[in-house]
Chains A and B, each alone.
Chain A
Amino acid sequence: MTENGVPILQLSGVSKSFGAVQALTKVDFEACAGEVMALVGDNGAGKSTLIKGIAGIYRFDEGEVLFDGQPVHIHSPRDAAQLGIEIVYQDLALADNLDVVANMFLGREVLQRPFRLDEAAMEESALKTLDSLSVTTVRSVRQAVAELSGGQRQAIAVAKAVMWNSRLVILDEPTAALGVAQTRQVLDLVRRLADKGLAVVIISHNLHDIFEVADRITVLRLGQRVNLYKTAETNQQEVVHAITAGKLEHVPGMASL
C-alpha cells in the first residue's frame, strides 16, 4: 500500500526476454486508483514491452502480477479487458470510415433484437461517456472519425477505453502527434480519468507533459526500473539523469539464468 491510493495493478519482479535480448529484468511496477503513473525511459528501455505484458499480448517470463491484490494471469487481450484494463495504443486503432459511436462500440456493439444494432442505446451511452469526460469539442457523435482533428481522435480513443467499467487505462504516447492546444485537452482528459478514480498509466517522451499530469514517475532504463519518483518531490533534471544514467541493479542486456 502506498499513500497514493489503493494499488489496482502491481507487478513484482517481471522479466521478459526475446531470444538473447533481455527486454525487462525483474521490474516492479504499480498503478493506483485515482493516480496518474508516468512510465518514462529512452527508446528500447522496455516501456512498450511492459505494457504489452500487462495487455496480454506478451507473457512475462517470470514475476508476479497482482490485480486488486489477487494474483492473475493475463494471457490475451481479452483477459485484460475482462479485468478492466484498457489500452489506448499510440496508433489509435480507430476506423476512420466509421462514426464516433461505431468506433467507441467496435467489437462490443449493443444489439436490440437478435441481429439488429441498437444505435440509439449506443449513441446515448457514447454521449454520456463523452459528457462525463467533459469532451465537448466533438460536434456530432455521428460524424466519421476521419472528420476529426488529432486531439478529438485521441479524446475518442480515450473515451472508448473508459466506457467499459475499466479500472486501469494505459495510454501509449497520447500526445505525440498533437499540437499545443490539443495536447492541453488530452492532458486535462487524462487528469479527469484519474479524478474519476481510475488508475491511469501514461507513457510519454515529453517530460513537460509528464510533470503536468502525473502523480508519480517510473523510470525504466535498459529493461530495469531505475527509479520511482513522486512528481512533487523531483524535477526534470533528476528524471532526465535517471533516464540516461540511472543506476542499474542487474547486469543489463543478458538473459539471467
Chain B
Amino acid sequence: MSETELPTPVERSMMQQAQSQSLADYARAYGRRLRSGDLGAIPIILGLVVITVIFQNLNENFLTPRNMVNLIVQMAGITVIAIGVVFVLLLGEIDLSIGYVSAVAAVLVALLLRGPTGISGVGRLMERLGITEPFNWWMAVGMALLLVALIGMVQGLIITRFQLPSFVVTLAGLLVWNGVVLILIGAGGTVIIQDQVIVNIANYFLPKELVVNDATLPVNTSWLVGLTIVVIFAAGRVSRWASRRKRGVSTTPVVIIVLEIFLVTLVTTVIIYICNLDRGVPLVGIIMLILLTFFSFLATRTRFGRYVYAIGGNMEAARRAGINVTRMRVTVFMLSSLMAGMGGIVLASRLRSVDTAAGGGDLLLISIAAPVIGGTSLFGGRGRVISALLGALVIAGVNNGMGLLGLSAGVKFVVTGLVLLAAVLVDAISRRGRAQSGLA
C-alpha cells in the first residue's frame, strides 16, 4: 500500500471520493477484497475449468453438444432445490428435510394428476371430497407447493418457538417425510406422470423454427430468448449506472459494465449455439434462469434479502434494528421447502414418474453441497444465489463426466465428497483471511 493511500482526515470528503471512483479505485477495492480472503467466484471458475479439461481429455464426448444439453437437464432440479438452501445457509441454519420434501411435492403432483382413483390414499381422499376429475397441471402444482410450504412453516415454527437447532428438527422432518412419501405412493411403487405440461418441464426444447399462423418463419426461438436475456441484463446494468450517476454516488466504471455485458452476451451465445447443435435449448434451462434471476433480486435488492444477510451476520444486531427475526426465519424455512418442492417436480418431470426412491439417495447431500461448493458459507451471512447454479454445475459435471468414463457410483461419491471438502476448506481459509484483515 502506498503512502498516499493511507487514511488521513483530509479535506477530500467522502462524497467527493465516492463520485470519482475510477477504474484504478475499482481494481484496488477488488484487490483488497481478494487479499481479505473474499475470493468470490474465482475458485469455482477455476474448478470448472479443471473439471472440463480433465474430463475432455479422458473422454472426448464430454464437451459434445449432446452431453452439454444433458448436463443442463441433469443439474436443473438440484439447482432449484439448492436456491432454497442458499437462503437457509445465509441464515446460518440447515434444512435436512429438503430431499424428501421435494419428493412429497412430486408424489402429490403425480397423484393429483391421476385423480380420484382408489389406488392411493390421495385418490380416495379426492373421491371422498366429491372431486370427480383429476386435477389439471396448475391446480396439482399449486396444491403441492402450498402443502410443502406449509411443511416448511411448521418446521420453522417448531425451530423458533422451542429454540431448537434446525439440524435436529429437519432431521426429524427427513424421517417423517420419507415415511409420508412411502405412504402416499402406497402399494403401486411407481406413479407415472402423463400430463404433457408437467412432462414438458424437463423434456421440452425451444423450437428451432417459429410457427405463426401455420407459416414457418426462419427464426430460431432460442435466439429471441437469448436476445431478451442480454437486453434485460444490459438494461438493468445501464439504468442502475445512470441512476446512481444522477444521484452522485459511486458508480461501477463504464469499462467494467461493458465487459460484463460482453461476457453475458458471449456466454449466452455460446450456450444457445451449442444447444442448437443438439436438441435445442431445454425449457428447464430457461425456468432455472428465471428462478435464479428472481431469487438473486430477492436476496440483493429487497428488504427481505437484506434481513436474511443481517440475521446470518449478527442476529442480535438484526433484532436490535427492529427486524422480526422469528418471522424471517420461519419464512426462510418455508422458502426452502417451497424450492425443494419445485425442484422435486422438475426431477419427477425428467423421469416422467415418481417412485419410492424419490427424494432419497444423494439428493439431499448434493443439494446442500451445491451452494457450499458454489461459495456460500456454512457459517451464515455470506453467499450468493448464483452459488446454487455454480455448485450444481460442478457436481453435475463431475457426475456426468464420471458416468461417461463408466466409473462406479462409489468413485463418484468419493470425488464429489473431495470436491465438497475442498470448497469447505476454501471457505474456512478465506474466513481466516477475513479475521486477520479485520484485526489489521
Q: Which A residues fall within an 8 A CB radius of B?
A: 77-78, 81, 89, 91-98, 102-103, 106-109, 111, 115-117, 119-121, 123-124, 127-128, 130-131, 134-143, 146-147
Q: Identify the closest chain A residue to B303 (Cβ).
A: A109
Judge whether A98 and B13 touch: CB under 8 Å: no
Given known A89-B320, A97-B381, contact A127–B309 (CB-CB < 8 A): no
On chain B, the residues within 8 Å of A135 by CB distance are: 14
Judge whether B318 and A106 touch: CB under 8 Å: yes
Judge whether A94 and B29 touch: CB under 8 Å: no
Which stretch of B103-111, B242-250, B253-261, B351-359 is in the interface? B242-250
Given known A97-B382, A117-B302, contact A127–B18 (CB-CB < 8 A): yes
Q: Is B36 an interface residue (CB 8 A)?
A: yes
CA distance A104 to B38 in the complex (A): 22
Judge whether A136 and B9 touch: CB under 8 Å: yes
- Our pick among B243, B310, B322 for the contact of A120 (Cβ within 8 Å) is B243
Judge whether A136 and B12 touch: CB under 8 Å: yes
Judge whether B18 and A140 touch: CB under 8 Å: yes
Judge whether B310 and A127 touch: CB under 8 Å: no
Within 8 A of A (CB), among B277-327: 301-304, 306, 309-310, 312-314, 316-318, 320-323
Q: Identify the closest chain B residue to A81 (Cβ).
A: B322
Q: Which B residues fall within an 8 A CB radius of A?
A: 7-10, 12-15, 17-18, 29, 32, 36, 243-244, 247-250, 301-304, 306, 309-310, 312-314, 316-318, 320-323, 381-382, 434, 437-438
Given known A93-B316, A106-B317, contact A123–B322 (CB-CB < 8 A): no
Judge whether A106 and B321 touch: CB under 8 Å: yes
Judge whether A146 and B14 touch: CB under 8 Å: no
On chain B, the residues within 8 Å of A106 by CB distance are: 306, 310, 317-318, 321, 323
Given known A77-B322, A97-B313, contact A115–B302 (CB-CB < 8 A): yes
Judge whether B14 and A130 touch: CB under 8 Å: yes
Chain A's nearest CB lies how many Å from the CB of B327?
13
Chain B's nearest CB lies how many Å from the CB of A125?
10
Judge whether B244 and A147 touch: CB under 8 Å: no
State the majority secondary structure of interface residues on B.
helix
- Our pick among A81, A120, A136, A137 for the contact of B249 (Cβ within 8 Å) is A120
Judge whether B243 and A98 touch: CB under 8 Å: no
- What are 7 A-B pairs with beta-carbon distances under 8 A? A78-B322, A94-B317, A95-B317, A95-B318, A97-B382, A140-B18, A147-B36
CA distance A94 to B309 in the complex (A): 12
CA distance A223 to B434 in the complex (A): 42
CA distance A185 to B14 in the complex (A): 16
On chain B, the residues within 8 Å of A89 by CB distance are: 320
On chain B, the residues within 8 Å of A117 by CB distance are: 301-303, 306
Judge whether B9 and A124 touch: CB under 8 Å: no
On chain A, the residues within 8 Å of B303 by CB distance are: 109, 111, 115, 117
On chain A, the residues within 8 Å of B316 by CB distance are: 91, 93
CA distance A102 to B299 in the complex (A): 13
Judge whether A123 and B306 touch: CB under 8 Å: no
Given known A95-B309, A95-B310, A147-B437, contact A121–B7 (CB-CB < 8 A): no
- Our pick among A93, A123, A140, A146 for the contact of B320 (Cβ within 8 Å) is A93
Chain A's nearest CB lies how many Å from the CB of B258?
21
Q: Identify the closest chain A residue to B438 (Cβ).
A: A146
CA distance A131 to B250 in the complex (A): 15
Given known A89-B320, A97-B312, contact A123–B250 (CB-CB < 8 A): yes
On chain A, the residues within 8 Å of B382 by CB distance are: 97
On chain A, the residues within 8 Å of B309 by CB distance are: 95, 97-98, 102
Judge whether B314 and A94 touch: CB under 8 Å: yes
Chain B's nearest CB lies how many Å from the CB of A36?
21
CA distance A123 to B19 in the complex (A): 11
On chain A, the residues within 8 Å of B244 by CB distance are: 119-120, 123
Judge whether A137 and B9 touch: CB under 8 Å: yes
On chain B, the residues within 8 Å of A78 by CB distance are: 322
On chain B, the residues within 8 Å of A108 by CB distance are: 321-322
Chain B's nearest CB lies how many Å from the CB of A54?
15
Given known A98-B309, A124-B248, contact A93–B14 (CB-CB < 8 A): no
On chain A, the residues within 8 Å of B12 by CB distance are: 136
CA distance A81 to B320 in the complex (A): 11
On chain A, the residues within 8 Å of B321 by CB distance are: 93, 106-108
Chain B's nearest CB lies how many Å from the CB of A214?
23
CA distance A98 to B243 in the complex (A): 22
Judge whether B320 and A136 touch: CB under 8 Å: no
CA distance A70 to B309 in the complex (A): 39
CA distance A102 to B301 in the complex (A): 11
On chain B, the residues within 8 Å of A95 by CB distance are: 309-310, 313-314, 317-318, 381
- Our pick among B32, B243, B317 for the contact of A93 (Cβ within 8 Å) is B317
Judge whether B249 and A123 touch: CB under 8 Å: yes
Supplied contacts A106-B318, A123-B244, A140-B250, 8 more A-B pairs, CB within 8 Å = A91-B316, A106-B317, A115-B302, A116-B302, A120-B247, A127-B249, A135-B14, A143-B29
CA distance A106 to B303 in the complex (A): 9
Chain B's nearest CB lies how many Å from the CB of A111?
7
Q: Identify the closest chain A residue to B314 (Cβ).
A: A95
On chain A, the residues within 8 Å of B18 by CB distance are: 123, 127, 140-141
Given known A78-B322, A116-B301, A146-B434, contact A134–B249 (CB-CB < 8 A): no
